[in-house]
Amino acid sequence: MTTLEQFEEYLRLNLPKIESFHPHYNDALARMVLAGGKRFRPKLLLSVVEALDSRMIENSFPVALGIELLHTYSLIHDDLPSMDNAPLRRGHATLHTVYDETTAILAGDALNTHAFYLLASAPLNPKTVVKLVKTLARDGGAYGMVLGQAVDCHFEDHIHNHKTGVLIAASLSMGAMICEAGEKLEEALHRFGVRLGLLFQVEDDIIDATQSEEEAGKTTGNDGEKNSFTNLLGLDGAVAYKENLLHELMTEARESFPEALAEKLVALMDGYFKKA
């Protein structure tokens, strides 16, 4: 069984299950997590751990799940009528369309806070746990992802890299924290992750412009009035920018990180960011 398969099994077994007479609370908490997704952020964390100290893989599962839950909460809230008002996510109907807006808001709130419960309960050095909680709170909250969402909503023609980039950066640096690899590598991985988040945003813009909802598994054609890369550079320009940035990041990974870690990062990028 691969590390990702082990993580998926861990995920299914460790989603919150609450004893309550509420008719669909547990289903709402689990539905969008179990809908799938590429698990890109957990993959990043687990790849770093596997490369630096594979003995820590099992101990890192609660942290990887915490990151995935925080990411899923952000998607649930992104899709709300007051934000993107999207009917489709991960190939499934969004929570507010399956249930109602109140349920979707509360499910997102629950997944957000449960992420930190998982981190706080992880079988790791207490000092490491504090660093992990602090990093995810910073990059997933007021200083990071939520800031990006606020900018994106207030300035409707603008997409802020904080919305996607900082949680990707956090996933990489948190993998190094679990392995106690030192601040120098943590910071280098975080800087790399910010640029990887930019690549992720370019790819997302290309998908929005070129794929149907069925192909993408989510609502597309949303960026008509935004300063997306496809609108600013044209589709061909955005594709060229993506390919150039991908090449730069692969080169940087090979030149800047230990060989085993570089191989993991290059393989992930090669698998996710397909050549157009």
Query: pLDDT tens across 30-44, in order?
Result: 999 999 889 999 999
- Residue with the two structure tokens 């945003």: 201
pLDDT at 166 over 60: yes
pLDDT at position 276, please?
44
User: Which range, 18-22, 123-127, 215-219, has the best average confidence (pLDDT)?
Assistant: 123-127
- How large is the average pLDDT for residues 171-181? 98
Which CATH number fits the domain 3-272, given the four candidates 1.10.1060.10, 3.60.15.10, 1.10.150.530, 1.10.600.10? 1.10.600.10
Instruction: Of 51, 45, 91, 52, give the one whose Cα is nearest residue 66.
Output: 45
What is the rounded CA–CA span in Å between residue 274 and residue 23?
42
The CA-based angle 235-240-241, given to 5 degrees, is 95
Q: What is the DSSP string of the chain?
A: --HHHHHHHHHHHHS-------SSHHHHHHHHHHT----HHHHHHHHHHHHHHGGGHHHHHHHHHHHHHHHHHHHHHHTSTTTT--SEETTEE-HHHHS-HHHHHHHHHHHHHHHHHHHHHSSS-HHHHHHHHHHHHHHHTTTTHHHHHHHHHHSTT---GGGTHHHHHHHHHHHHHHTT--HHHHHHHHHHHHHHHHHHHHHHHHHHHH--HHHHTS-----TTS--HHHHHHHHHHHHHHHHHHHHHHHHHHHHS-HHHHHHHHHHHHHHS---
Confidence check: pLDDT of 155 > 90:
no
Cβ contact 43:4 at 8 Å: yes
Q: Is 219 or 62 the better-scoring residue by pLDDT?
A: 62
CA dihedral 261, 275, 162, 115 (to 10 degrees): -60
89: β partners: 92
Q: Taking 60 as the threshold, does the pLDDT of residue 72 lie above it?
A: yes
Range from 160-174, 195-209, 216-230 carrying the lowest mean pLDDT: 216-230
Distance CA 151, CA 53 (A): 38
pLDDT in tens, 206-218: 998 898 888 778 8
Query: What residues does 104 pair with on adjacent strands?
Result: none
